[in-house]
Structure 1
């Protein structure tokens, strides 16, 4: 199956203690089940988040035909999503009312090796 891939970035607060807490929130089994279920329901097949200093980089693989804008709007309305975004905002350089789509900025691919 061919996936659509999106890469996004977000900045955390420049605070080593908060960064470590943010990492713990994303350890296996720590992300609330409703959040994972909501992402899968809108067509997110896989997701990875990487960190360098206080900069996050997300790779999001989605189903073919994924409509990013519509899906992010739908995700924002999923059970507990608003609560999750408010919770993780304490670690992020963002407001506690911002949606995931408002926080995570889409990146433009400027290079690809091969096909």
Structure 2
């Protein structure tokens, strides 16, 4: 299993943030998007928020790659529609590259056992 952590910001608007959270409430997401994530090897996906900053944890199978995910996304029109809808709520973090949404975070600490 692999784990990836990513960051993204939301537009600083309380109404848009509330709507974004409604889109991510249980049962509100689009099944085609979830199935596409499963097909890419995503086993679990969690999003946390503080203020306008979001943090996503992806747990994937060992075969998962972001290249594979992008290729599958490109074949599913519902994923493109979902991403377009979500972009009205989202904005890149300050260090994002042009066109980049979720930015992969670097692991800087591991609890020592």
Q: Same fold (TM over 0.5)?
A: yes
Q: TM-score normalized by structure 1?
A: 0.85
Stretches of structure 2 that go unaligned for 5 or more consecutive residues are: 93-98
Shift of 1:70: 2.6
Secondary structure class of the residue paired with 1:80: helix
Shift of 1:28: 0.2
Secondary structure class of the residue paired with 1:103: coil
Shift of 1:66: 1.8
Residues 69/114 of structure 1: CA separation in 2 closer, same or farther (3 Å cut): farther
Distance 2:25 2:43 in 1: 18
**Which one of the candidate residues 17, 20, 23 is aligned to 1:22?**
20
Cα RMSD after superposing both structures: 1.6
Structure 1 segments of 4 or more deviating over 6 A? Answer: none
Residues 76/107 of structure 1: CA separation in 2 closer, same or farther (3 Å cut): farther
Equivalenced residues, count = 107
**Which one of the candidate residues 68, 71, 74 is aligned to 1:70?**
68
Query: Is the Cα contact below 8 Å between 1:35 and 1:80 reproduced in 2?
Result: yes
Match of 1:13 in 2: 11
Stretches of structure 1 that go unaligned for 5 or more consecutive residues are: 95-100
Distance 1:66 1:114 in 2: 27
Distance 1:78 1:86 in 2: 13
Query: Is the Cα contact below 8 Å between 2:7 and 2:55 reproduced in 1?
Result: yes
CA deviation map 1:30-77 (0-9, x unaligned): 000101000000100000000000011000000013222232332243
Query: Is the Cα contact below 8 Å between 2:42 and 2:58 reproduced in 1?
Result: yes
Q: TM-score normalized by structure 2?
A: 0.87
